[in-house]
Amino acid sequence: MTPLITLRSAEAADLDTLVRLEHQVEDSLPSRDIFATDEREFYEPIILGAGHILLAFDDENRLAGASVIRFPAQNDPENLGLAMSLPAEELARVRHLESVFVRPDMQGRKLAERLVRENMRLTEEAGRTISMATAWPGNAASLKLHLRLGLYIRAFAFKYGGKPRFILKSGGSADLTTPPVLVRAMDIERHRALLASGLAGVAVHSSDGQSVPLVEYRPLTKKTERPSPDKKINELRSFSDIGKGKA
């Protein structure tokens, strides 16, 4: 039977459980390069208004997953928009898709994507309409998720103690009239060269007989963004839904 999944906004009382789940997920991964964990001190300002954390609970009211979105200040040195030299007006509209994690036994139900999509919808009401995120180049699942959410690989940086990370950003659409360039996921220097030339990573493919994915590069065409509403989140509603598919 498919379990009933309840989504609601996180509160201060949820933070210790949230951190425990995050470390549980990290311990289940084959490499610590894949996922950078945070502690309670990181989440506290988000709970107070510098973003939004959306939680998923199973039918026994146990925490099943979380999506964390943070609103970096325009002058925050960690604002990912700085890596792309965004103008001040756009820096003020950036939201970081900081992380999404799902309890190991609840994976395979598309819960991660449902969490992030709903959290993105909620935080758009605060005027944060430029989505940015980071992902380890070898994490095909994370890259594919962010690409489905409308982000593209736009830059590269070493972050979180020197770990290689793609920087992804929403906006634009792939120019399918040009031939693609395929690059092995861990060919860092090739990625940096293509990104510096103005191309964007627009898709991820599994290479035949190999575990290392291939990243597809193409130019982007401009896409008109929806105007951002200049208002705060008034109320983030709790609701229930049925989890289906694959996380």
For the chain, give the percent of residues with pLDDT over 90: 73
Q: What is the CA radius of gyration of the chain?
A: 18
| pLDDT value for 8 | 97
Q: Which CATH superfamily is domain 4-172 in?
A: Gcn5-related N-acetyltransferase (GNAT) (3.40.630.30)
Average pLDDT, the chain: 87
Range in 123-137, 195-209, 219-233 the model is least confident about: 219-233
pLDDT at 182 over 90: yes
Residue with structure tokens 């989440």? 43
| pLDDT value for 32 | 64
Rounded mean pLDDT of 131-158?
Answer: 95
Environment class of residue 219 by beta-carbon count within 10 Å: exposed (0-12), middle (13-18) or buried (19+)? middle
In this prediction the pTM is 0.85
| pLDDT value for 36 | 73
- Dig out the tokens for 149 from the structure: 């959410």
| pLDDT value for 29 | 73
d(CA 201, CA 247): 22
pLDDT at 223 over 70: no
d(CA 189, CA 203): 18
In 75-129, beta strands by DSSP E = 94-102
b/e burial code for range 97-109 (CB count within 10 A of at least 16 → b): bbbbbbbeebbeb
Range in 178-182, 219-223, 229-233 the model is least confident about: 229-233
pLDDT at 243 over 60: no
- Dig out the tokens for 182 from the structure: 């395929």
**For 32-88, what is each residue's pLDDT tens digit?**
666 677 899 999 999 999 999 999 999 999 999 999 999 999 999 999 999 999 999
Rounded mean pLDDT of 145-166?
Answer: 94
pLDDT at 239 over 50: no
Q: Where are the domains of the chain?
A: 4-172
